[in-house]
């Protein structure tokens, strides 16, 4: 299972390192109730199409989690969880970091 968890790490680090700073009109925000529901249904149904319905700016988190895992993009987490469950590395192209020092902008 750990091997599958590492699946997205290699694929998702490259865009993180290559992303440039770009101003964007929309900013990160809390997920609404629909987006939270889409994330649950998407993972349960192993359906990336449902993950696509979540805003790329919706950020959630757990303040007392381990360092580096306190916040995440809800859409990215949905894709990541499905990638881990199914072993589909192609979904990792949709996974991005929500690190507070990151300057990534959704594509």
pLDDT tens digits for range 31-72: 999 999 999 999 999 999 999 999 999 999 877 777 766 889
Residue 105, domain member (yes or no): no
DSSP 7: H
Residue 13, domain member (yes or no): yes
Residue 101, domain member (yes or no): no
Residue 26, CA atoms < 13 Å, CB-side half-sphere: 11
- pTM for the model stands at 0.70
Three-class SS of residue 29?
Answer: strand
Domain count for the chain: 1
Residue 107, domain member (yes or no): no
Cα(74)–Cα(33) distance, rounded to whole angstroms? 12
Residue 102, domain member (yes or no): no
């Amino acid at each position: 299972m750990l091997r599958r968890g590492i699946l997205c790490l290699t694929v998702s680090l490259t865009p993180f390192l290559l992303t440039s700073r770009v101003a964007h009109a929309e900013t990160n925000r809390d997920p609404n109730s629909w987006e939270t529901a889409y994330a649950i249904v998407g993972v349960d149904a192993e359906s990336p199409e449902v993950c696509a319905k979540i805003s790329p700016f919706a950020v959630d988190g757990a303040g007392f989690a381990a360092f580096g895992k306190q916040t995440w993009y809800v859409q990215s987490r949905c894709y990541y969880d499905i990638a881990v469950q199914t072993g589909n590395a192609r979904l990792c192209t949709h996974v991005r970091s929500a690190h507070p020092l990151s300057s990534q902008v959704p594509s």
